[in-house]
Structure 1
Amino acid sequence: MRKFLPLIGSHPGGRSAMTCRYRCGDACFHEVPNTSDNAYVGDVIAGVLSRRSVLRASAVVTVAAAAGATTLAQAPEASAAGAATAAKRKGGAKAARGLRFTPVAPNTTDAVTIPDGYAQNIVIRWGDPILRGAPAFDPDHQTAKAQAGQFGYNNDYMAVLDVPHERDRQLLVVNHEYTDEQLMFAGYDPANPTREQVEIGWAAHGLSVVVAQEERRSGRLTAVLRHRLNRRITATTPFEVTGPAAGSKLLRTSADPTGRRILGTLNNCGGGITPWGTVLSGEENFNQYFANGGAVTDPVTAARLKRYGIGGAASERKWERFDKRFDVAQEPNETNRFGWVVEIDPFDPESTPRKLTALGRFKHEAAEPRLTDDGRPVLYMGDDERFDYFYKFVSAKRMKRGNSRAAREHNRTLLDEGTLYVARFTGDSPAAEIDGSGKLPKDGEFDGVGEWIPLASGTTSFVEGMTAEEVYVFTRIAADKVGATKMDRPEDVEPSPRTGRVYIALTNNKDRGTAGKAPADEANPRNGNKHGQILELAEHWNDPAADRFSWRLFLVCGDPSDPATYFAGFPKEKVSPISCPDNITFDAHGNLWISTDGNALGTHDGLFGVATAGERRGEVKQFLTVPKGAETCGPIVQDRRVLVAVQHPGEVDGASVEKPASTWPDGPGKLVRPSVVGVWRRNGDDIGV
């Protein structure tokens, strides 16, 4: 008889209890790991108002410098008067270029719903064979060996690159965040998984690299199975450890006394593409895979585990029964080997992927790069936890152009040497005007300035009482010590390729303002924040390496009829409702596209486009919705197609293989399968023009 574990009620947003349990180990129902008493945004305003006009001017100069000869209309409104003017905008006769489609209405349809005039297809599904020798997917006879050659489970972040010398082909790199064994295996007993089920789970994590063929006339994309570049990276694939913490005693285990070789990557979420052609992937909710943290008696180690949300007894999936590295009592350092950004070379299937210690260790949700004027990469990174922080890394080296062996070898080192920073945000409104309701302050905007606080550079620590190795391995603790700003779950990050402004998705935080927790502040202005916000950041003088920035909230999400929402001053009756922003990307026209996770408005998650400039700045338009129980992930918006990863379809409380909650994508009687979906215009024209 199937055994079900108890479900926890009152989950944040629109997520099911099942999703919370398998995706993040019920993170939102555990004690908040950040118990520091850092100053909040609203507490640090002394001297800010006197500098406000100068900083606003620098923000406008930043935008102008980034855009060259662009007009001031492309910059954010720079005063209360500007915000008031924006509120009166009617918008032109047409939507912004790239967003000219009829918005999809909010719905609860068990399908991918797209605008009129568009078509869709499944590019690839969980279990589709991608390596030579891998069998076709057989839900009743799954094996770990087969899964290691098949497309993984719960697709998340996606990257697309051109395949050299192969016309109309692109290389798709996809993260596989987590597994839900109750939807994978008939008769699954969560209290007693079998070794084969566990090993299938290991093989279903990680990443897939798969070539896709474009149909030239329509833009339709289909996977090319068993191509020479196709690859699977799993929870048991060897990784090289690089950067200043490589070889640290904090990373050494009985299986790896050198601290330089780690098996596998887990809970891969957001990522990025480097300018030199590699793909980055962030390890997010890795803590849930480890058991028996509560058995650790050393107080220093116990405190470190607690700060990363590792505790308790058995893990959800019981992996510790089959590999002692997941048992903290036996291998206390194994947890330190996860929570990194990993880098892979998608064009070399034989290359060893790398874990990059210079970028710090936390629940990584994004690794989005920019280049400084002199060619040094800068990465922006979010830590997806309630009340955790926003980071950046500035490389010490310049990128070498070209594809020579020397250039490739040099560029492999760019993310190993540099300075790691954490952000402190300061609001420019009196604390009394930020009351937790989401009401705009008197100046008409939630905005302010900020600074990047250095944590470590190479072997130098800037944090009192911590070595550089400790800063990299226990980055959260270092950020606590220097007084970083507690945020509402910083998830994906995306610099605008047009303006250089950086957009940060802050998904939600149900604990904001509750007893003993940080109250609302200007960057996180709502207590009990169910719907999240998008923050827009401009580096001083548009220099990614600058140590100062200005910021404002671009969107405060939720029901447009709710006074506690804001859409960059655009008329609220003209926007699509949006809740819980997660992954974000840009199109070629400079529009921001937002996928949602856990829509708290009672309808399904979706993908939304929003203009960031001009008369239509702040106009949100829903492009698609996903099936029952699903989340929209990893959006890619190209000229002729949109790609989304439909993650955890049918993940509804009480669902199972025998009792599915969704029939997507293959209809009744078939196993529900996470999949990548492509959408294109039926007439072959570009998206939204």
Structure 2
Amino acid sequence: MTAPARLLPLFTRSHEGGRSSMTCQYRCGNACDMDVPNTSDNEYFGDLVAAGFSRRAALRAGGVGAALVGLTAWSMPSAAAAAPAAGTPGSPGTGSALGFTGIAPTPATTDAVVVPEGFAWAPVISWGDPLFADTPAFDFDHQTPAAQREQAGYNADYVQFSQGGAGDNGAHRGLLSFNNEYTNDELMFRGVRSSADLSDEQLEIVLAAHGITITEVARRDASSPWRWVQGGRRNRRIHTDTPFAVDGPAAGSPHLRTSADPTGTRVLGTLNNCAGGETPWGTYLSGEENFNQYFRATGAPDPEGRLRRYGITSGGRGWERVRDRFSVVDEPNEVNRFGWIVEVDPEDPTSTPVKHTALGRFKHEGATVALTADGRVAAYMGDDERFDYLYKFVSANTYREGDRAHNLTLLSEGDLYVAKLNGDGAADGEYDGGGEWIPLVVDGVSQVPGYTVEEVLIWTRLAADKVGPTKMDRPEDVQPNPVNGRIYAAMTNNTARTPAQIDEANPRAANKHGHVTELTETGGDHGALTFTWRIVLVAGVPSDPQTYFNGYDKSEVSPISCPDNIAFDQAGNLWISTDGMPGTLNHCDALYIMPLEGVEKGRLQQFLSVPVGAETCGPVILGPDSVLVAVQHPGEVSGASPENVVSQFPYRGDGQPRPSVIHAYRRHGR
């Protein structure tokens, strides 16, 4: 599907992190405008001191730039080879490990999906598409809560795809699952300028639009795009009122009990689901991220600072008008029932999803898994907050091939760790070093003085603060590479980091562009408690001397900013989707490929870009000619409304933007 590229005016300012102010409001409750929740006294400068580079010397040298010059040995390409400055198209390059010619950056006001020459794209499923045989078709001006509970949810993020599984009936049937992270009340309804304007019925629609969507998909042949199947046997909507079981060591804790659930073992709904991961047994993991913004905390006591550490300080989004449980004063424990990793069996639409307390509670970007040398399951996780941490969970029991019932228990019991990264100095010309996984819970015993196991798992941030992990620059997606076995973590950005707070693992003050870190577990074992690490990408404009592209010639790479989700193809190439480039580079957000081995190692190229106001999410690399991408919040710029439409993506004649999952594929001679 194609649409004319229209250049539209932007009615927005961007927050320092790169997103529009409208996105910041609805996605994370303006988190970057709030005080940093982590006020622990963990050191920032330990890496630099170990390298013989003192804090005083850095500041005396003149601040941000001087501190970086003192730390790094990377060099800027010659003026003749330098890439274009921010806001101008870069060199797209020719060829790639995938066999396409990379595209140039797209101006941030472009209302089009741009793909490489020889490729096309089409929507797979969009917000409001009906899932069941008797579900009404989407009607923007006549939405109802009942319809939304049976239609695709809003704002797709993490995407999971399976093909050839039970009931798929051949190569041209599949199963698609995706998160519905958040809603934009101003773009969903006419005449709404804030959440306070919503009627009770509109609030019910908003609640129903959150959660997870599961749908069967089909295609005509191998050269055709995938498309959702209305009435598929495994189609399902999980929303704010869907029952979830709670398991693990904190299940039944007094801190999880409410008036509606005095057992503390059954929760309604899942909120702000961001990234996720697929287990070896085929289930779907989803991370509850910015759940804090939905709870009205006004007047709630917080003597131990637990609410503040989780950012639960606002007046909420008005949900307490239709659900008392979203008032912290009325139900002080309800908020503790969110912030978990949830597991869903997409093959069984009658199954009860589970919230796994053993994996800890924080702003989960997601969880991705790999098997340890002795067959246990390791789950890697990032806490998406400025100055928060990387985590790892290792199951107590081992994976059994083909024993689904057993494997469904693996995330219920195990050990939880948080990461400490130490630098080795800049003399080797790289940001790298060693690290350790500091224990929080081991063999069912708390390793944090003064904290019980329940307390470690329910207030994981506070427990981790006590053991000295490294404060990172918004760790988001953390993914094991199935080809080389290493772990890759996207640090999206952190504009709040000062020159006094830089370290070798987070080497830039006012880090608006972000970076990607590679971790190698000792012995290649995901169960190891030590690792080495190195930064493989320092994002930004290639002509900036602070940027780094795994050693590749910077005259032949694309500019990039705000890495968010990552994925891998069958060759082990790293794919990166972005969140925030309109505000940092004046480009539309995009999807990139960066080979990690061979002669093209570090040669970052742009594969596609999404429309004005949108974010690139949940990439799934199906093969050398086929990629799934979630296009989230199209047209979401301040001042946009149903009467002032900025994007009409996915260009289906609806007149309003509809977040969607799309399929980009090679035309194969068409």
Deviations 1:266-301 (A, max 9, x none): 00001000001111000000000000x24123512x
Structure 2 letter corresponding to 1:635: P
* 11-20 vs 479-488, greater mean Cα deviation: 11-20
Structure 1 match to 2:85: none
Paired with 1:27 and 1:413, the residues of 2 have a C-alpha distance of 34
Structure 2 letter corresponding to 1:157: Y
Contact 1:99 1:609 in 2 (8 A): no
Deviations 1:18-71 (A, max 9, x none): 00000000000001000001022544765999xxxxxxxxxxxxxxxxxxxxxx
Structure 1 match to 2:40: 36
The structural deviation recorded for 1:134 is 1.0
**SS state at 1:270 partner:** strand
The structural deviation recorded for 1:96 is 4.7
Structure 1 letter corresponding to 2:359: L
Structure 2 letter corresponding to 1:17: S
Alignment of 1:91-130 (within 5 A): 95-108=95-108, 109-130=110-131
**SS state at 2:411 partner:** coil
Paired with 1:383 and 1:679, the residues of 2 have a C-alpha distance of 30
The structural deviation recorded for 1:472 is 0.2
Structure 2 letter corresponding to 1:451: E
Q: Give the RMSD, CA atoms, in angstroms.
A: 2.2
Paired with 1:138 and 1:287, the residues of 2 have a C-alpha distance of 31
Deviations 1:409-453 (A, max 9, x none): 211110011100000000111xxxxxxxxxxx3321000100000
**SS state at 1:422 partner:** strand
Q: Alpha carbons of 1:30 and 1:213: their partners in 2 closer, same or farther (altered >3 Å)? A: same
Structure 1 match to 2:519: 537
The structural deviation recorded for 1:12 is 2.1
- Match among 266, 278, 282 for residue 273 of structure 1: 278
The structural deviation recorded for 1:99 is 4.8
Paired with 2:96 and 2:142, the residues of 1 have a C-alpha distance of 50
Q: Alpha carbons of 1:307 and 1:361: their partners in 2 closer, same or farther (altered >3 Å)? A: same
Contact 2:177 2:215 in 1 (8 A): yes
The structural deviation recorded for 1:132 is 3.0
Structure 2 match to 1:308: 310
**SS state at 1:622 partner:** strand
**SS state at 1:21 partner:** helix
The structural deviation recorded for 1:170 is 1.1
Contact 1:457 1:468 in 2 (8 A): no
Q: Alpha carbons of 1:558 and 1:146: their partners in 2 closer, same or farther (altered >3 Å)? A: same
Structure 1 match to 2:414: 418
Paired with 2:310 and 2:177, the residues of 1 have a C-alpha distance of 28
Paired with 2:99 and 2:279, the residues of 1 have a C-alpha distance of 27
The structural deviation recorded for 1:8 is 10
The structural deviation recorded for 1:189 is 4.9
Structure 2 letter corresponding to 1:311: T
Paired with 1:45 and 1:391, the residues of 2 have a C-alpha distance of 25
Paired with 2:45 and 2:354, the residues of 1 have a C-alpha distance of 36
Structure 1 match to 2:401: 401
Alignment of 1:161-560 (within 5 A): 161-162=162-163, 163-165=165-167, 166-167=169-170, 168-190=172-194, 191-291=196-296, 293-300=297-304, 303-312=305-314, 314-315=315-316, 317-402=317-402, 407-429=403-425, 441-457=426-442, 459-513=444-498, 519-560=501-542
- Match among 564, 580, 589 for residue 605 of structure 1: 589
Structure 1 letter corresponding to 2:156: N
- Match among 562, 565, 569 for residue 544 of structure 2: 562
- Match among 631, 638, 641 for residue 646 of structure 1: 631
**SS state at 1:397 partner:** strand
Contact 1:102 1:115 in 2 (8 A): yes
Contact 1:212 1:222 in 2 (8 A): yes
**SS state at 2:537 partner:** strand
Structure 2 match to 1:74: none
Deviations 1:551-575 (A, max 9, x none): 0000000000111100011011100
* 169-178 vs 368-377, greater mean Cα deviation: 368-377
Contact 1:45 1:427 in 2 (8 A): no
- Match among 583, 605, 626 for residue 610 of structure 2: 626
Structure 2 match to 1:143: 144
Paired with 1:256 and 1:679, the residues of 2 have a C-alpha distance of 45
Paired with 2:39 and 2:626, the residues of 1 have a C-alpha distance of 44
**SS state at 2:201 partner:** helix
Paired with 2:362 and 2:45, the residues of 1 have a C-alpha distance of 22
Contact 1:18 1:651 in 2 (8 A): yes
Paired with 2:629 and 2:36, the residues of 1 have a C-alpha distance of 31
Deviations 1:371-393 (A, max 9, x none): 01221110000000000000000
The structural deviation recorded for 1:614 is 1.2
The structural deviation recorded for 1:105 is 3.4
**SS state at 1:328 partner:** coil
Number of equivalences: 620
Paired with 1:112 and 1:324, the residues of 2 have a C-alpha distance of 41
**SS state at 1:638 partner:** strand
Paired with 1:189 and 1:15, the residues of 2 have a C-alpha distance of 19
